[in-house]
Amino acid sequence: MSYLLQHGFFVLNQRYYAQFSFFFRRLWLSFLGMKIGKGTYFHKVHTTWPNQVTIGENCAFEHNVYFKYDGVWNTKSCIQIGNNVFIGTGCEFNINTGITIGNDALIASGSRFIDHNHGTELSSLMRTQPSTDAAITIGNNVWIGVNAVVLKGVTIGDGAIVAAGAVVTKSIAPNEIWAGVPAKKIGDRK
């Protein structure tokens, strides 16, 4: 009897309640301007400006993905995600200029994408200096490991792999494997 109650609760919670809440979450975010492709499924996401986010078809997002657009409201979509993309739990997109993610990308839990930096001149406080920023581009069929950090101006080529915990400060050519802090090339896909 205990098994039946536990299993029944699990099925109700994970299957039916999740689908029910997703329907209303998708409806609400679409109303606020987020563009969401067919077949895309996500749990709870956080966003400062939903109209800045465009998500392609058949994407899967785990819990607590955060889309933080640092600029003021505008009509342009600065966070663009392609089709068949997976984004793991707790990923953060802290964007000032823009990020583009290609099709079939895999982004593991805890990864961070930050396209801007504070000024570092000695003449004034760092927090009052204008930021320097440059867009991030993630190619098609890219795999980014858990807790990786991708910084401003980086382009990750098609088919590249970024190892867990890497801090990417330079662009990566297609089909290369990078790891470390700061990330360096450690091999090529074969």
CB 136 within 8 A of CB 98: yes
The token pair at 101 is 């993610």
- Kindly report whether the peptide bond that precedes residue 182 is cis, defined as omega within 30 degrees of 0: yes
Give the N- to C-terminal CA distance of the chain in Å, as an integer: 53
The token pair at 67 is 């889309």
Rounded to whole angstroms, what are the CA distances from 5 to 2, 12, 19, 20, 171? 5, 10, 20, 21, 52
Which of 111, 186, 119, 107 has its CA nearest to residue 151?
A: 111
Catalytic (active site) residue 116? no
Q: How many CB atoms lie within 10 A of CB 119?
A: 14
Give the active site residue among 7, 46, 63, 118: 118
The token pair at 139 is 């190619």
Q: Annotated catalytic sites, by residue? A: 118
